Amino acid sequence: MRAAYLADYGRSAFTRAHPRKPDVDAWSAQRGDALLGQVIDALLERSDVEGGAVEDLSIGCALPVKEQWSFGGRYPQWLSRQLASAGQACPSRQIDQQCGSSLAALRGSVREIQAGAIEVGLAGGFENMSRVPMGPSLFKEGVLTMPEALEQADWLELNVAMNMGLTAERLAEEAGISRQAMDAFALRSHRRAAAAEKSGWFDDERLSLITPEGERVECDANIRADTTLERLAELGPAFSEDGRITAGNSSPLTSGASAALVMSEAALARHGMTPLACMVEIVDCGVAPERMGAGAAAAIRRVLDKTGLGVDDIDLWEINEAFSAVPLHAMAALDIDAERVNVCGGALALGHPLGATGIRLAGTLARLLQHRQGRYGCAAACIGGGQGIALILER
């Protein structure tokens, strides 16, 4: 197979989403596909790559309902000035693999290059969680319904599996992860993200974009630099009366978009680019739906087995913080050094715009490998419905 490289990566600022209070979300007036179009344009302009050079476009979105249905990825393509002006020959697709959607999109671009089918691909992801139904309203509006046939599937604990918070409760209970440990991990995420923000670390990946009202959005809105363990401890359980999962140790509703430019070695030379990282492997796997959060650890095991690498070979980890329980479970199950995990914070602080998160994980990881001169990095996420996805990059 040919080598595939992550040539460049960028994302929007991640904003706090709220379907019932759009005024708190800077992107509330911006469709998610239009936001991704902006991200694509800014990324291509920064990379000095013409839209006509892109031969394939894959888009991830976890909730492709209502306006987030993108006509097979064509809407973001048409909403990108760079891609639209280059003509309509570039094929596109939209992928729903829940929280792994944009990593699945990235995998598609990587595989096309590895197979020799293309030289330049774009993978992106978006979610505007203020503009589409979320949580219980999905059921009320009939957007997310349980097929009648599944109601009789007594081998599935659907009352747990259909509620991500309850799957996190199940994982924490089974793995013996305490409320105190989850709150402490959330505090760590906010402190690390706040330190990275203060140092300007995110400036090179976070693109400065403009809302439909003409306002420039440049900062992530979910980081709480002033939070404390005491404040986190005051929060009540969010999903069950006697539970451990709270709003503080769960990722917040978030709006955002991300994109990655993927190239072959020949394309890098042609465009005069130095890549961020080389793609080593991307895998996914399934786990029991009611243990959704265990998917990250399972996918990490599989990608390590497939590459022949061990935990100690990985210099840096980005494990998605859908809930504190997810990275805490993976770290304990695989004996991962906590100091190498999410060193600039994670989704608990930055936010988790579902369809955009995977590329954020991969792009941040690639940048960290360059900055810290590591060799291998691993990014992983659990996936609603009982799956996991993981990739390994090499600097």
Active-site residue set: 99, 352, 382
User: Which tokens in the block code for residue 355?
Assistant: 């369809």
State the chain's maximal CA–CA distance in angstroms: 59
Cβ–Cβ < 8 Å for 341, 319: yes
For residue 331, which phi and psi values (nearest 5 degrees)?
-65, -40
Give the burial class of 174: count Cβ atoms within 10 A of its Cβ; 0-12 exposed, 13-18 middle, 19 or more buried: middle
Cβ–Cβ < 8 Å for 43, 258: no
Long-range interactions of 295-298: CB distance < 8 A, separation 24+:
295/381, 295/382, 295/383, 295/386, 295/387, 295/388, 295/389, 296/320, 296/326, 296/327, 296/329, 296/330, 296/380, 296/381, 296/382, 296/388, 296/390, 297/329, 297/330, 297/333, 297/334, 297/380, 297/388, 298/388
